[in-house]
Amino acid sequence: MKNPKILLLGAGGFIGANLTERLLQDGKYEVTAIDIESEKLEDRLDHAKLNFKQHDIRSRCDSLDNMVKDHDLVVDLVAMANPSLYVTNPIDVFDLNFTENLRIVDSCLKYNKRIIQFSTCEVYGKTVASVLGKDPAEMPFPFNEDTTPMIMGPIKNHRWIYACAKQLLERVLHAYGLEKGLNYTIIRPFNFIGPRIDFLPSEKAGNPRVFSHFMNGLLYGTPMQLVDGGINYRAYTYIDDAVDCMIRIIDNPGGVCDREIFNIGTPENEVTIKELAHMMKKVFDEDFRQPGDPDPEIVSVSSEEFYGKGYEDCDRRIPDVTKARTKLGWHSKHDIRSVIHHTMKYFVDQHRAKQKAA
Ligand code: UDP
């Protein structure tokens, strides 16, 4: 298709802003970008092939339906995807991640448009090892899109409302595909990090994801807090690698992504959160440290203290990326040190610029 018109919902977030930038660089797409905020897109707003509209999909007006009608493809990134919000605002998390997203899916069905729906690796839940009371370290168990069962914690641990909302949306998409012929692709991101992720808690109120907390320690001297000892694992993917896979899914050569689910992740980049804290300290010391920079201590904190009641962690999540490799020829290029270095550089550059301006 020549110059496909893409409606990118949630374009102002971390993934959306990086994806928008790449789509504009490639030059062959026309992008309508929708978000409640445009800060992360600031230097792209005047691009000839970008039409940014500030819009809250919760406002329930006809314009969203009309926009879906006018585009070739809908990419839906609208989400509340920050674990602290699953604990503090579970109803908002359900409403946005399921109810409002379902309206977008319904519009796609009405106008027969393909949708790429961003989901989450949290839909897999916990590992079999954790349920059996075994050490997940001894049972590496990659999550496969089409065969792995999904194990959630109890209702009182309301953190799981996010995973359940996303899982239900995936199940509805599958049913729409089956019964009504909707053409969808689901993406399950595994811990993307890179420039424009989150914020530093010393500079803005809120509870961002772990990289920003640790970065805050390295730049402002606050302790690097390991929730419940930092024993759980995450596998990090650099945002540029993730975007590279997303572009392949958008292009959908030969329809290989039709009604398919794709993990996007880097199994080789798995670390415990404790290892992440120590690696971040080491990379900072080797690549960025300047005289006068703080040397934060690494401490342990309980999850209840850190998040409040209702939190439960995903112990280990290793992506099986065979499908992205075989169907799309995609491999991520950045190892864990390089992922940390590039993400860190973004925060350090901003911080040094602020220090200079002060
Ligand atoms: N975590 C931590 N210290 C922090 C923030 C988070 O130890 O300051 C832990 C959290 O409990 C989880 C992991 O780091 O085990 C990743 O959490 P994050 O908020 O980055 O998001 P998630 O990967 O769970 O979506």
74 in the Ramachandran plot: left (φ > 0), alpha (ψ -120 to 50) or beta?
beta
Per-residue pLDDT for 112 more than 80? yes
Question: Which of 29, 86, 124, 162 is an active site residue?
Answer: 162
Q: What is the pLDDT of residues 240-296, one digit of tens each?
A: 999 999 999 999 999 999 999 999 999 999 999 999 999 999 999 999 999 999 999
Q: What confidence score (pLDDT) does residue 2 get?
A: 73
- Mutating to test ligand 1, I would choose from 15, 273, 301, 340 the residue with most ligand atoms within 8 A of its C-beta, which is 273
Protein residue closest via CA to atom 5 of ligand 1: 210
pLDDT of residue 293: 96
- Residue 3: what pLDDT? 81
Determine the 3-state secondary structure of 250 from DSSP: helix
CA of 232 to the centre of ligand 1 (A): 9
Q: Are 217 and 206 contacting, i.e. CB atoms less than 8 angstroms apart?
A: no
- Kindly tell me the sign of the dihedral angle through the C-alpha atoms of 268, 269, 272, 277: positive
Burial of 247 (0-12, 13-18, 19+ CB in 10 A): middle
222-238 per-position pLDDT tens digit: 999 999 999 999 999 99
Contact yes or no for 84/43 (Cβ under 8 A): no
φ/ψ of 225, rounded to 5, equals -95, 125
**Ligand 1 pocket, mutate which of 84, 224, 227 (most atoms under 8 A from CB):** 227
Determine the pLDDT at residue 358: 86
Atom number, ligand 1, closest to the C-alpha of residue 213: 8
Instruction: Using the mean position of ligand 1's atoms as its centre, give its distance from the Cα of residue 329 in Å.
Output: 31
**Residue 44 pLDDT more than 90?**
no
pLDDT at 124 (0 to 100): 97
User: Considering only CA atoms, which residue is closest to atom 24 of ligand 1?
Assistant: 83
Residues 75-100 have pLDDT tens digits of 999 999 899 999 999 999 999 999 99
Q: Is the beta carbon of 120 within 6 A of some atom in ligand 1?
A: no
Distance CA(224)–CA(222), nearest Å, equals: 7
Residue type, 342: H
Q: Is the pLDDT of residue 60 over 80?
A: no
118 contacts 15 by C-beta, under 8 angstroms: yes
DSSP alpha helix (H) spans, the chain: 14-26, 62-69, 83-88, 90-94, 101-110, 128-131, 160-180, 210-220, 239-251, 273-287, 303-307, 322-328, 336-357
Residue 136 is predicted with a pLDDT of 92
pLDDT at 61: 77
The whole-angstrom separation of Cα 334 and Cα 201 is 27
Q: Which domains does the chain have, with CATH numbers?
A: 79-357 (3.40.50.720)
Query: What would the pLDDT profile of 117-143 be if each residue is shown by its tens digit?
Result: 999 999 999 999 999 999 999 999 999
Show Cβ contacts of residue 258 under 8 Å, excluding neighbours closer than 6 positions.
Answer: 114, 183, 185, 252
Residues 6+ apart with CB under 8 A from 93: 80, 85, 86, 161, 162, 165
- Using alpha carbons only, what angle is made at residue 117 by residues 10 and 268, rounded to the nearest 5 degrees? 95
Name the band, by pLDDT with cuts 50, 70 and 90, for residue 63.
confident
Rounded CA gap, 65 and 109, in Å? 11
Whole-structure pTM value: 0.97
Task: Determine whether the shortest distance from the Cβ of 216 to ligand 1 is under 6 A.
Answer: no
What sign does the CA torsion over 152, 156, 157, 160 have? positive
Q: What is the DSSP string of 74-105?
A: EEE------HHHHHH-HHHHHIIIIIIHHHHH
CA distance 271 to 231: 9
- Catalytic-residue membership of 162: yes
Q: Give the mutation target among 209, 278, 301, 315 for probing the ligand 1 site: most ligand atoms within 8 A of CB.
A: 209
Ligand 1 centroid–CA 128 distance in Å is 20
Cβ–ligand 1 contact at 210 (below 6 Å):
yes
Helix (DSSP H) and strand (DSSP E) numbers for the chain: 13, 13
Secondary structure class of 197 (helix, strand, coil):
coil
Tokens of 181: 């012929």
55-69 b/e (C-beta count within 10 Å ≥ 16 → b): bebeeeeeebeebbe
